[in-house]
């Protein structure tokens, strides 16, 4: 019986130390939200505000977060173009939004977005970007 009680106590203690998971969304910014769409049709007059939002509920600690993103877009002549960015998020900040510009002259096709925070993949998603 004491062995069972010890196992329950250890599992309860370990469970309490777990940090809340980081959440991420990638899509079109609209009205304070991120619309996670599978397909974006570009407006010929103006491009939508496209990007990602990361929620870091565990950032109350003393350490900064290292955030890195990679966007692979369709390019000219069927080639793929890779854009990489990196930013240090100060400790205590619980949310970060990053705009990823879309040029209306861009070639339509599949865009891959990957966001890594402190070595943990938070977003890894493909979005179909089309011209009307």
Average pLDDT of span 34-50: 86
Residue 97: which CATH number? 2.60.40.1930
Split at pLDDT 50, 70, 90, the class of 3 is low
pLDDT one-digit tens code per residue, 52-77: 999 987 665 678 899 999 999 988 88
pLDDT of residue 104: 76
Split at pLDDT 50, 70, 90, the class of 78 is confident
Please state the pTM of the whole predicted model. 0.78
In the block, tokens 């959440």 appear at 23
pLDDT at 123 over 90: yes
pLDDT of residue 75: 86
> Is residue 112 situated within a structural domain?
yes
pLDDT of residue 53: 95
Dihedral angle of Cα 42, 106, 115, 112, to the nearest 10 degrees = 90
Domain limits for position 85: 19-130
Domain count, the chain: 1
């Amino acid at each position: 019986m004491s062995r069972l009680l010890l196992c329950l106590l250890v599992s309860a203690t370990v469970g309490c130390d777990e940090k809340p998971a980081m959440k991420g969304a990638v899509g079109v910014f609209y009205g304070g939200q991120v619309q996670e769409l599978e397909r974006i049709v570009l407006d010929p007059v103006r491009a939508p505000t496209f990007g990602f939002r990361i929620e870091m509920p565990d950032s109350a600690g003393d350490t900064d977060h290292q955030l890195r993103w990679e966007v692979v877009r369709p390019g000219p002549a069927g080639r793929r173009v890779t854009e990489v960015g990196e930013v240090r998020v100060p400790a205590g900040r619980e949310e970060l939004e990053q705009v990823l510009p879309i040029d209306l002259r861009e070639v339509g096709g599949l865009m891959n977005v990957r966001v890594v925070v402190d070595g943990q993949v938070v977003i890894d998603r493909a979005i179909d970007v089309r011209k009307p």
